[in-house]
Amino acid sequence: MGGKLCNIVDGTKPVIVMVAVQLVFGGVNILYKLAINDGMNTRVLVAYRFIFATAFISPLAFILERKSSPRLTWMIALQGFLCGLFGGALGQNLYLESLALTSPTFSAAMVNLIPAVTFIFAISLGLEKLAIRTWAGKAKVGGTLLGIGGAMVLTFYKGPQINIWSTKVHLLNKDQHVAASHRMMDNHVLGSLLDVASCFSYAIWLIIQAKMGERYPYQYSSTALMCAAATVQAIVYATCMEGNWSTWKLGWNIRLLTVAYTGFLASGFMVTLITWCIRKRGPLFVSIFNPLMLVFVAILGSLILDEKLHLGSIIGGVLIVIGLYAMLWAKGVEMKSMARLSHSKSSKEAEIINVGTASAEDDDVSAAATNPR
């Protein structure tokens, strides 16, 4: 009985960890919006996030992987630079600019487009097979189309306002919030395009990261290399675009909380937990929990930011999530099929080896019978 209970507890650990990870990532969106509303420059915010992340992950990589002595080559350095660009500085700057023009819930919904965009890139580069005649192939195509359709609904259809609940906790500055609301209405399409661009950037990062992992299978060191490259890129970009050094000042306020939370907790500690979950249950298990962030952001945004939900946002978000799970189901079917194929191939090879061994033994017995010595 005690053994079964321990197995159940051990089996629920990855689930609890991934729910906590998505809750933390939901908090990132809320804090981003609060820092932007406080007047913090988005480019400076991105630079500080990766400064804090590098300060956290670099000692961790040194402690955990110093004995493995990872060898850094020019190709790995280039891949690390590109990962820092597309998965770090560029992706985060595009995402924050879109968040400033839209809302946390909207941006969280658009993030679920990344698997669909990654699938399109993988098909174009020959890294993924379409297999349109199979149910898995049809599900992947259908999921991609649903995701794109949901993004279009989010962008071009607002619909009536839906009031689920209302609280008196409004952390956004009222005057700036009103001005931002008018700006959001004027630049909603621009914010949507920036969100889609950030999804493309992260999809490119995933493909490069997969290639880098084949040459450099050191998860902590590769993350530290990516964060260090993103730090340099983000600082250079922020310095070139923002000449006023007063924007870099941090006090004991929401700005310091945001950069510490996103750097240490989100980009540092949560990455370690995600890596642990991937090792325990695989990447498919981790991907299944992505839509939870949308739910958390929608709840937190409506509770503490007075964010209003609209019918278009709900319909678009649901379409994107359905499309995501269709693609995850298809990928799961393909992985099981590949596992069965690999197992049957191994069984056939083992059977051939056994038959060959048995034949050799029979030959030896026959030879011994004809040669009594």
- pLDDT tens by residue, 164-176: 655 555 566 555 4
DSSP notation for 290-322:
HHHHHHHHHHHHHHHS-PPEEHHHHHHHHHHHH
Q: How far apart are CA 56 and CA 54, in angstroms?
A: 5
First to last CA, the chain: 61
pLDDT at residue 3 in the model: 54
pLDDT at residue 229 in the model: 95
pLDDT at residue 134 in the model: 85
pLDDT at residue 289 in the model: 81
Residues of the chain predicted below pLDDT 50: 176-184, 360-361, 364-373
Residues counted in the chain: 373
**309 has which bridge partners?**
162
- pLDDT tens by residue, 41-60: 999 999 999 999 999 999 98
pLDDT at residue 250 in the model: 87
DSSP notation for 250-299:
--SSHHHHHHHIIIIIIIIIHHHHHHHHHHHH-HHHHHHTHHHHHHHHHH
pLDDT at residue 286 in the model: 77
pLDDT at residue 164 in the model: 63
Q: Pick from 178, 64, 203, 221: which is nearest to 120 by CA?
A: 203
CB within 8 Å of 165: residues ≥ 6 apart? 302, 303
pLDDT at residue 346 in the model: 62
Q: In whole angstroms, what separates CA 359 from the centre of its chain?
A: 54
